[in-house]
Each structure stands twice: as C-alpha cells, then as structure tokens.
Amino acid sequence: MENLFGYFTPGYIKWRKGRINKWIIFKVIFPSVYKKAMKQPVDEKKVVFVEVRSLEITNSFKVIYDKLDNEYDFDIHTHFLGETKVKKSQYLKNCINMLKDIATAKYVFLNDASNCIGSIKKLRPETQIIQLWHGCGAFKKFGLSTADLIFGEDRKEKKKYPFYKNNTTVTVSSPEVVWAYEEAMDFEDDHSVVQPLGISRTDVFFDKDYIKSAYDKLYEAVPLAKGKKVILYAPTFRGRVVSAKTPNQLNLGMFEDHFANDYVLLIKHHPFVKRPPAIAEEFSEFAFDVTQTLGIEDLLCVSDICITDYSSLVFEYSLFEKPVIFYAYDLDNYCDWRGFYYDYYEISPGPVCKTNKEMIHFIENLDTQFDKEKIKDFRYKFMRSCDGKSTDRILKYIFDKDKKEQ
C-alpha cells in the first residue's frame, strides 16, 4: 500500500472492512503528526478555529471570531473537519492538516468534542485550547456522564480515546453547571479548567439591532408571519448522531385548528437529522419548516412561545423570559437512553406535556398558566454568566492567563 496522505507508512495501516484501525489513528498517527509539526516555534499571532462537524463557521464561533478579526491583530486560520459529513478519508486528511496547523498556534478555539485533539498525549504548554461549547446550561448528559448508558460508550473506551483532555479553558453559562461539565469532560480533579465566563454566542440576544434583523429575516423567509405571533417547535434528535431521527408526534391539524388565526408554527429540526418529515400541503399557510432558512438564534429572538423537549436551547430562550413548553411524550425512554443532570420535572420552567391536548390547553390559557417567575429563577440559576458581555470576559480571561504564565 502506498503511503496514505503522504505520511503513513504501510506498517502503520491495518484495513478492517475498509476502515483504518482506530488505535493506529489515535495512538500513533495523530500524535506523530502533531509531534513532528511542533518542532517549529509557536506563532504568537496565530489563532485557529476548529469546526468539528460543520463545513462553515457556526454561530457558536461567530461573535468571538468577528471580534478577533476586526479588533485585534491576529492571523486567523479556520479548519472544517466535517465529521459525519465528508468521507472518512477526507475527514482524516482534514484532521491531519488541522493538527499540523495548531501545533504552532497560540490560541485554538473549539465548540464541540474532538477526540482528534484529545489524542495528543502532551500538548505544548504555549498553546491554549479554548472550548466555547455549543450549548448552555446542563440538561441531557454527555461525555463521561453517559458512560455505560445506552447512548454512550463504556467508561474504559471513553478514557482510552478522550475528547476533552487537552482543553485548557471551557466556558460555561453559570457557576451552577460547572460540576456537570467537570464530570462530563473528566476535569473533576482539576477545577481550573471549567470557568463560568458565559457563552460567547449569547451576546447577540442583548443586541437590539440583531433582534431587529432577526425579524427582518423571519418576514423574508415566512411572509405570512407578519402580523402574527410565532410558535417555535425545536425538538432534539433521537438515537445516535450518525442515524439521528426527529420526533414526529406534533399534531399539525390540531394546532392549526386552534391557532391558525393568531399564530404561525415554525419547525426547526436538529442539524444532525438528515431526513426530516415533510409538512403536508394542507398546512402550508400555518406550519413552516425553517431548518435550512433560519438560524436557531434568530428563531429564539422572534418566537413568542417555544416548544422543545430535551434540547439545551431552553437555556438560551430563558433569557427572553417567554413561555416554554416541554413536549416529553417519550420521557421515560429518553431518560433510560441518555439521562439528565437534574430532575427533569423539577428544573423544567414550563409545563411537561405528554399530549398535544395538554400543550394546546396551556397556550390557550397563557394568562393564567404561564409562570414568569419560574422562568426568571431558571434563567438566574443556569444563565447568570450570560449578560451580553461574555465574549469580552472570555478574551480578557485567556489573555490575562497568558500574562500570568509568562
């Protein structure tokens, strides 16, 4: 076999059903690539943004990316690994190119788990790996917290191929959830990593111009929304990431019968879902799939009511202190599958519904059913570090950290 990607030698490669042996990739190839590249000095001006799954810069990065690009003198690099979106051979090439680049970077920003970066046994001390994460709060379990659950791999496997080991700073939305991220990312013995500095991308929710532009985008994408209120249905996916499916239990006919005069219903499927169900033509003037046309940040800004299930977007939505409904018809099964950090019923700042009738009843009686104080308490508990200034606070922290270590 010829050298793969111009680097691997035949003795390192084992083909099993068309795939390279996992141990070889993460224990030999990736560390070797990084070790060779780090012989060059660190570029004090190099900043690298790594998108693990996306093929473009996502909203998790946009605010901090724009600030570094517009207000600082940095050489900014981007890498789009395309995990689950490109062929395995291309993904490996992308990872190798990224590892070569971050080996001489001063700052590396992530917003998701990366066992590629986690495979490096010893990261050079000059480089900071800042994990901005893509969600707020702590709802459904992830990382080591899912070890031995149906959703997760066993603990031994997660320890062998770590995803978060080299993160030097992890930013979270509130002091309340630090413990959950330390558990999930295996930092329970190092309390210096997870920091309640806020989530950078939530800064837009405090920007009046951004909110206005969100309404402009809504009316351009869904003209029938003008003059009406908005119900957003944004469920999380079911199953594993590679075969993610979306729930299809919302009764559009019932909702249209009750709310078509006053509302439009916008449906936003999870980005992992590849084949969402189509909306029947008969509901075309009431229900709209905006998965591909409107971003979740824009949708949270313009929605009057949010229906979700186990998605962390409820944390961001609490910043607006508007009604939220939890459509948890499969709660028992989901709890066994994935698990939660807190008791689901106790922390949910809105009604937990198992049927369409329950949701419709709540919406029809918002004046008496909606408890705004509960939302406010939820916001303080889980989002108190998100105040519109998170990006500035994060950058100050990492730059100050550099000064202290010099």
Per-residue model confidence as pLDDT tens digits over 285-334? 999 999 999 999 999 999 999 999 988 899 999 999 999 999 998 888 77
Per-residue CA distances from 145 to 125, 139, 153, 156 (Å):
28, 12, 10, 13
| Predicted confidence (pLDDT) at residue 80 exceeds the cutoff of 90 | yes
DSSP state of 41: P
Residue 3 included in any domain: no
116-134 pLDDT, tens digit each: 999 999 899 999 999 999 9
Residue 216 included in any domain: yes
307, β-bridge pairs: 233, 325
The reported pTM is: 0.89
Treating both helix axes as pointing N-terminal to C-terminal, what angle do 30-37 and 88-102 enclose, rounded to 10 degrees?
30
**Coil, helix or strand for 13?**
coil
User: CB of 213 within 8 A of CB of 301?
Assistant: no
User: CB of 231 within 8 A of CB of 259?
Assistant: yes
Residue 226 included in any domain: yes
165-202 pLDDT, tens digit each: 999 999 999 999 999 999 999 999 999 999 999 999 99
pLDDT band for 20, please (50, 70, 90 cuts).
low
Residue 1 included in any domain: no
pLDDT band for 271, please (50, 70, 90 cuts).
confident
Residue 356's pLDDT is 96
Residue 293's pLDDT is 94
- Burial class of residue 372, CB neighbours in 10 A (0-12, 13-18, 19+): exposed
* 239 plus 103 within the same structural domain: no
CATH number for the domain spanning 112: value is 3.40.50.11820
Nearest of 169, 111, 185 to residue 393 by alpha carbon: 169
Q: Which domain holds residue 348?
A: 204-383
* 211 plus 196 within the same structural domain: no
Nearest of 271, 325, 323 to residue 296 by alpha carbon: 271
Residue 406's pLDDT is 66
**Lowest-confidence pick of 1-10, 82-91, 232-241:** 1-10
Residue 337's pLDDT is 64
| Predicted confidence (pLDDT) at residue 382 exceeds the cutoff of 70 | yes
> How many structural domains does the chain have?
2
* 135 plus 238 within the same structural domain: no
* 224 plus 366 within the same structural domain: yes
* 391 plus 377 within the same structural domain: no
Separation between Cα atoms, residue 32 and residue 252, nearest integer Å: 54
Residue 39 included in any domain: yes
| Predicted confidence (pLDDT) at residue 14 exceeds the cutoff of 50 | no
**Coil, helix or strand for 370?**
coil
| Predicted confidence (pLDDT) at residue 151 exceeds the cutoff of 70 | no
* 55 plus 91 within the same structural domain: yes
* 281 plus 399 within the same structural domain: no
Residue 275's pLDDT is 82
**Lowest-confidence pick of 70-74, 187-191, 211-215, 337-341:** 337-341
- Burial class of residue 144, CB neighbours in 10 A (0-12, 13-18, 19+): buried
Separation between Cα atoms, residue 304 and residue 324, nearest integer Å: 9
pLDDT band for 273, please (50, 70, 90 cuts).
confident
* 371 plus 396 within the same structural domain: no
Residue 241 included in any domain: yes
* 191 plus 301 within the same structural domain: no
Q: How many CB atoms lie within 10 A of CB 392?
A: 15
| Predicted confidence (pLDDT) at residue 7 exceeds the cutoff of 70 | no
CATH number for the domain spanning 230: value is 3.40.50.12580
Residue 5 included in any domain: no
* 394 plus 335 within the same structural domain: no
- Ordered DSSP codes for 14-27: -EETTEE-HHIIII
Q: What percent of the chain has pLDDT over 90?
A: 74
* 34 plus 168 within the same structural domain: yes
Nearest of 96, 81, 128 to residue 30 by alpha carbon: 96
* 308 plus 319 within the same structural domain: yes
Nearest of 313, 217, 315, 333 to residue 270 by alpha carbon: 313
Mean pLDDT of the 199-223 span: 98
Separation between Cα atoms, residue 60 and residue 393, nearest integer Å: 16
pLDDT band for 373, please (50, 70, 90 cuts).
very high
Residue 247's pLDDT is 80
Residue 4 included in any domain: no
